[in-house]
Amino acid sequence: MQNNEALKFKPVALPCGLKGSTRLYTTNLFVGGCPHECRYCYAQGFRAFSKSGPRPVSLQSITGVKKFPARIFLSSASDPLHPIVVELTAKLLQNALQAGSFVVISTKALATPDIVRILSRHSDQVSYTVSLTSLNLERNRILEPYAPSAYERLHGKKEGQYFLCGIEQLAAGGLHITLKVDTMFPALDDTQENIEGLLRAARSSGAQAVTMSYAFLRKSFKKRLIGVPLLRDSLIEMNEYQPIASGKGYSLPLAKKKVRLAKMAKIASDIGCEVISTCRCKNHVEGAFEDIPMSLECHFHDKWF
């Protein structure tokens, strides 16, 4: 693993979410670009993004942390369980959980047995979110070319002498698992067939809750996706310039979001998912969902459990 002494680990450097006892502090263990290379990833617009590849923080920057915040979010612009940093993440988790921090994980990657053991010992301090938007192989091949397959994220996979863990193994380890249906493209990912099949598969694998959010695209980023034929109809529908937490972006019009999210909330409820919410950061209009069974909350909220 590459070490980079210039990258200092500062767990309280980036507050994420509302002020108060539930505020999260984002921790990214690498910068420069994510190896999943998802076509829609908004982190490609960040200043630190580089096509030269990711740069992990140093082990010393983690072991030198003297005080951890009450709530840590892994991660806002990187995947904490990607193989390039999973050993760093294991060390961070061990130290932070022992210090009493609540840890919120968001990942497309698969957990190692070591990660599962660490988390299972502190399951009441962990909210674990697996990002998966579709079971469609071709869709995922085009939009998430180097991320684990949908099947692997649900059921894990054998790799060498280890079995890397998906939702099924994580839930068996006593962890609270939320399915993150995000980033969701209209006319592609929000069909009843896709949502019902996806939620049934996730629920049967052990996911207890679900959160859903539509894609939003800033002007410059939308231009990059015009050349992806699979997204042609989606981009046509994403024609409303809306407020988001950090500015504005194009997305499905809010009026349509309300109708479609309400339908998906009903599907989730019928399947037995405990919670459904949508992200306040991406739907930055107060009261937008007051009249449907949908919370306007942060994705990563331990009060669900």
Mean pLDDT of the chain: 82
pLDDT (tens digit per residue) in 115-133 = 999 999 999 999 999 999 9
Q: Are 287 and 258 in contact (CB under 8 A)?
A: no
Whether residue 6 lies inside any domain: the answer is: no
| Least-confidence region, from 44-48, 95-99, 142-146, 190-194 | 44-48
Whether residue 2 lies inside any domain: the answer is: no
Q: Is the pLDDT of residue 47 over 60?
A: no
Q: What is the number of structural domains in the chain? A: 1
Q: What is the pLDDT of residue 51?
A: 60
Q: What is the pLDDT of residue 152?
A: 98
- Report residue 8's pLDDT band, with 50, 70 and 90 as the boundaries: very low
Whether residue 3 lies inside any domain: the answer is: no
| Least-confidence region, from 49-63, 126-140, 213-227, 270-284 | 49-63
Instruction: Quote the domain boundaries for residue 167.
Output: 14-304
**Strands, DSSP E only, in the chain?**
14-16, 24-26, 30-31, 55-56, 71-74, 102-107, 126-131, 157-159, 162-164, 177-184, 209-214, 240-244, 247-251, 276-279, 295-297
The Cα 121–Cα 140 span in angstroms is 33
CATH number of the domain residue 153 falls in? 3.20.20.70
pTM as predicted: 0.87
Rounded to an integer, the average pLDDT of 196-216 is 95
Q: Are 87 and 109 in contact (CB under 8 A)?
A: no
Whether residue 274 lies inside any domain: the answer is: yes
pLDDT (tens digit per residue) in 288-300 = 555 565 665 554 5
Q: What is the pLDDT of residue 66?
A: 78
Whether residue 38 lies inside any domain: the answer is: yes
